[in-house]
Amino acid sequence: MADLPFIILPCPSCQVKNRVKSYSAGKVPVCAKCKTPLVAEDENDIHAKYGQNLNNFFDLPDIGLRSDSGK
């Protein structure tokens, strides 16, 4: 599986930039400095589902449908 990039989320309370690699449902990312939640719980669930779908997409085998004609 390809390594997924991280995103940087600023804390809404103290403005510290936090590096978040992945979201998991039921585990909201918090600020490393002040422990304030970085996203709302429902927003976290949406990001977790998106990340899971993205992981599933990266696990698909390449069956040669991508065009290399642009090279």
14-66 pLDDT, tens digit per residue, is 999 999 877 777 788 899 999 999 888 888 777 767 766 666 666 666 677 66
In angstroms, the CA 30 to CA 51 distance is 18
In angstroms, the CA 67 to CA 24 distance is 34
**Which amino acid makes up residue 56?**
N
| b/e code 5-28 from CB counts within 10 Å (16+ = b) | eeeeeebeeeeeebeeeebeeeeb
pLDDT at 43 (0 to 100): 81
